Amino acid sequence: MRRIRANAILILTVAWILGTFYYLWQDSRPSSSSSSSSGSQLKNHGRLEERTLPLIVIDGYPVMGHFDQKAFLSSKQLKAGEDPYREHAFNLQESDRLGSERTIRDTRHYRCSSMTFDPDLPPTSIIITFHNEARSTLLRTIKSVLMRSPPHLIQEIILVDDFSSDPEDCRLLSQIPKVHCLRNERREGLIRSRVRGASAASASILTFLDSHCEVNTDWLQPMIQRVKEDHTRVVSPIIDVISLDNFAYLAASADLRGGFDWSLHFKWEQIPIEQKMARNDPTQPIRTPVIAGGIFVMDKGWFNRLGQYDTHMDIWGGENFELSFRVWMCGGSLEILPCSRVGHVFRKRHPYDFPEGNALTYIKNTRRAAEVWMDEYKQYYYAARPSAQGKAFGSIADRLALRRKLNCNSFRWYLENVYPELKIPEQDAAYSLLKQGGLCLESHGTDNNEFAFSIKPSAVLYLHYIHIYFPQGKCHHT
């Protein structure tokens, strides 16, 4: 009797151990269940060995074609003793160590997985512009798109190489099926580069991505669905955080939207409490006054009709305000879709140079946005950023004509209907003192100083995650 009991316990223990192993093995398989992936056999503690491809087959489609990813990555590795942060402002060693793909956690709310989409969603052209991006982050961006999107929804991936030092980065990647490479003959900045990519796109829907992203499970369908239903919607995912130090993939809060202050400094902010209370379905879109700018889906016809981008903006910055004001004021809307998640490496500084200087470029771009779209409210922009006055910003005649042609609403309408939380500052000196005394990552009153710009707006979310807490409301001007 005792023997039988001992045997039963032994059998149960073995079964339990085997069950646990099976569960762990299942859990670490690539998340895309539709991929009959030969790559999944190569898994080793969350990493995939690099092999000469074809590595992955999705629905019979060889993702990598003749592209030799091992050679692509290994020919440009960090040299011994080199600072891994120097060239890209993130830890290149960690990124290279991850290789070309990895499994990431599905960070969506569990109710997202039961959402359904139209069977006839239209395909999209993905546009990725880059200037001297690291090979491993760029390749992971592309492969994550190919692995985690239904293949029929990806018409093509258009890389716009913004005059990077090594033209081979882009050229070699165009050996991957569906990937095309356009190279600028001189540095244009991300705004003109995106317009070039969008003009070359053959699909009716455009999807913009930064060059150091990893898209997550079923990221694309919710966005295409919303744009298909109403072509005037411009939609963004929740942007998860990829740590610039160890490349851990961290879920971002689902309660944030895009906001800004009068100096046209982007920030993530809590959804207003009334809206939060009214949300009983966590899969519902979140209306947002502005988008972060890098990751969004937009109908191509609508993008063109609304005037693409202001191509007199240079290098980086400000175009997200210009696009956001334009979309809202000229008959469209902006949303963040919580069931779409894309990871992005948030950095604390720009790893590349600005030919006209960082501060002057940001001022030129935001001044153009303020002058064209903010009407009499631009005075608050100048009050918050006094050094912008008198700085060159070129002619805005074309953009003013566009605004007239589109018969757009006023900035006052935008404030009343889209962003009532942005309070009008009181007209006294206390306003500027209050702001400068606040613990904000902003550059009020000091923006003629390059140093004030060395912390990028997008770093705020990153800092949020490393638990440096910026008290809510400190930067508000009520």
Q: In the stretch 259-298, what mask flags binding to ligand LR7 with x, by CB under 6 A?
A: ---------------------------------xxxx---
Distance from C-alpha of 263 to C-alpha of 45, rounded to nearest angstrom: 46
Distance from C-alpha of 384 to C-alpha of 378, rounded to nearest angstrom: 10
- Is 320 a binding residue for ligand LR7 by CB under 6 A? The answer is yes
Shorter beta-carbon distance to ligand LR7: residue 69 or 365: 365
Q: For residue 91, which phi and psi values (nearest 5 degrees)?
A: -80, 95
Q: Which does 211 bind (CB under 5 to 8 A by kind): ligand LR7, Mn ion, none?
A: ligand LR7
Shorter beta-carbon distance to ligand LR7: residue 150 or 351: 351
Shorter beta-carbon distance to Mn ion: residue 210 or 442: 210
- Is 129 a binding residue for ligand LR7 by CB under 6 A? The answer is yes
Q: For residue 24, which phi and psi values (nearest 5 degrees)?
A: -65, -40
- Is 50 a binding residue for ligand LR7 by CB under 6 A? The answer is no
Q: Where are the beta strands (DSSP E) in 300-440?
A: 333-345
Supply the minimum distance, in Å, between the C-beta of residue 219 and Mn ion.
16
172 with 179: CB under 8 angstroms?
A: no
Distance from C-alpha of 370 to C-alpha of 337, rounded to nearest angstrom: 27
Shorter beta-carbon distance to Mn ion: residue 172 or 241: 241
Report how far apart, in Å, the C-alpha atoms of 478 and of each of 146, 434, 473 are. 46, 10, 9
Position among 67, 100, 127, 131 found at the interface with ligand LR7 (CB under 6 A): 131
Q: Which stretch binds ligand LR7 (CB under 6 A): 29-37, 42-50, 342-350, 385-393?
A: 342-350
Q: Where are the alpha helices (DSSP H) in 151-293?
A: 168-173, 190-200, 220-229, 273-278
The count of residues interacting with ligand LR7 (CB under 6 A) is 27
Q: Which stretch binds ligand LR7 (CB under 6 A): 309-317, 367-375, 377-385, 466-474?
A: 309-317
Number of Cβ within 10 Å of residue 185's Cβ equals 6
Q: Which does 190 bind (CB under 5 to 8 A by kind): Mn ion, ligand LR7, none?
A: ligand LR7
Nearest Cα to 143, choosing from 131, 165, 128?
128
Distance from C-alpha of 464 to C-alpha of 459, rounded to nearest angstrom: 8
Supply the minimum distance, in Å, between the C-beta of residue 88 and ligand LR7.
9
Supply the minimum distance, in Å, between the C-beta of residue 318 and ligand LR7.
6
Position among 58, 190, 298, 370 found at the interface with ligand LR7 (CB under 6 A): 190
Collapsed DSSP state (helix, strand, coil) of residue 370? helix
Q: Which does 303 bind (CB under 5 to 8 A by kind): Mn ion, ligand LR7, none?
A: none
| Residues of span 295-324 touching Mn ion by CB under 5 A | none
**What are 245's two structure tokens?**
């130090």
290 with 324: CB under 8 angstroms?
A: yes
Collapsed DSSP state (helix, strand, coil) of residue 182? strand
Q: Which residues pair with 43 in a beta bridge?
A: 48
**What are 230's two structure tokens?**
């109403």
Shorter beta-carbon distance to ligand LR7: residue 192 or 403: 192
| Residues of span 235-264 touching Mn ion by CB under 5 A | none
Q: In the stretch 177-216, what mask flags binding to Mn ion with x, by CB under 5 A?
A: ---------------------------------x------
459 with 441: CB under 8 angstroms?
A: yes
- Is 193 a binding residue for ligand LR7 by CB under 6 A? The answer is yes
Nearest Cα to 298, choosing from 346, 262, 253, 335?
335
- Is 317 a binding residue for ligand LR7 by CB under 6 A? The answer is yes
Binding site for Mn ion (CB under 5 A): 210
Binding site for ligand LR7 (CB under 6 A): 129-131, 133, 162, 187, 189-190, 193, 210-211, 239, 292-295, 315-317, 319-320, 344, 346, 350, 352, 456, 458
